[in-house]
Amino acid sequence: MNSFLRAVTIISGLLMPLSVLAQSEGVKAAVDVSVQQQEEIWTGQQVTLNLDLKTTGFSYFNTHFNLPEISGAFLMQTDTTTIRLSEQKNGQSWQILRYPLALYPLKAGELEIPSIKVRFNTSAGYGQEDKAFQFQTTPLVLTVSLPPGVNDGDLVVTTDSFELDYDWQPIAETAHTGDAFTLTVSRRASDISAMLLPPLPVFRTEGLAAYPQAPEIGDQSNRGDLTAERVDKIIWLAEKSGNYDIPGIRFQWWDPDRQELAQQIVPGRSLEILSSPVATSVTLESEQTEPVLRSVLQILGLVLSILAVGAAWLYLKRESSSPDKPSEKSAFSRLQKACQGNRTAETHSAVHAWLSLSLRPYANNSPAPTLTEFARRIHDKQLEIELERLQEALVSSDKNWKGDHLLSALQNVRKKINRQKPGQSAIRLAPLNP
């Protein structure tokens, strides 16, 4: 028994200095940040920033770091991918947990990357108590170059793979007031985030209302390789007749592998907008038919008898009452059916046609105003709201739009118009306030 106790005491004496030594040395930790870029850095280029968490232990717990805001650049973690590494330093083995970060410089010159706050726990081994560490990385300064041919301050995309597709609908270059034109542009680029693909410039001009849609933006990451996708859409609504030129859009990107500035142009459109069909037929009737008939009557008055003149008068009376001739009543009937059927495109076109026809006696040969312009001039807030809802529904292809409120507002306006006579000030369309 005494021999056993002596053996245990001797073994305990041998182990005690080893435990004290391990406890006194403890576990070590450190952090480091580096740029994985040997070549020249360009504006708009994805640069990989490696954040390394190091320890002489065997595991990591509760890792956390905050990415700083950088003036003139974006810094982001594109995914949760980590890389396990190891190194020997002063005879000790260090474990490394690497976080690849994506840095996108937006301007040329010196770019300072502030320190990154990092904290994590690590332990010397399985079953050992873990220890908490907090660090701040050393700030970095990078030199960023502007690609040749790019103006300072321009937002440039730097990528070795850029794809662009576009689509104009409809293709026809002749249309009527109330019609819509849509431009859809799709872009896809590698080694870049979609948030760096700039939005489309929006062409705006009086008589052609522009409605840019919310873009579809997405990033796809595959083992650290990032691909950006962005789809933009702009819808133009023809509010006034006339000729319009929508300019083209130039896209440029810098290819760092080929060292060249490439570009692709989305062609613009030349549009001829005619008055709505009903308004056009009324214009033809008033501007062409009357002068011709007047000349015919003058000739007949010289060579025909009173009976022939009477016959011509009966003929004109019959033609003017023909149901085939467009009228304000028939135009409003068409508008009413479109509203009751909740058909946005047909309602939008019918409103233009009815407005051109109903206001013709008061317009003094001036073009009819746009829909919202008309509502503002007659100080009808409810009509203005309903017309804006109609245009929004048309642009967004909203199938839940209901036309009953718009029809009610238009019926009230029609009553006001019918109570007036041409030339009265209540309906005269004064210019909008500047």
pLDDT at 31 over 60: yes
Domain boundaries, the chain: 24-145, 157-274, 277-419
Whole-angstrom distance, CA of residue 213 vs CA of residue 25? 62
**Phi and psi angles of residue 124, each rounded to the nearest 5 degrees, phi first:** -70, -25
Which residue do the tokens 């919202």 mark? 372
**At 329, is the pLDDT very low, low, confident or very high (cuts 50, 70, 90)?**
confident
CA gyration radius for the chain? 38
- For residue 326, what pLDDT is reported? 56
What is the rounded CA–CA span in Å between residue 191 and residue 222?
11
pLDDT tens readout for residues 129-149: 888 999 999 999 999 999 998
Measured torsion, CA atoms of residues 169, 175, 179, 185, in degrees rounded to the nearest 10 = 20
Phi, psi (rounded to 5 degrees) for 291: -60, -40
Handedness of CA 262, 234, 206, 346 (dihedral sign): positive
Instruction: Name the fold adopted by 157-274.
Output: Immunoglobulin-like (2.60.40)
Q: What is the CATH number of domain 24-145?
A: 2.60.40
Q: Which of 15-19, 101-105, 228-232, 370-374 has the lowest mean pLDDT?
A: 15-19
pLDDT for position 322 = 44
Q: How does pLDDT run across 238-283, given as a tens digit for each residue?
A: 988 999 999 999 898 999 989 999 989 999 999 999 987 654 444 4
Domains 24-145 and 157-274 share a fold: yes
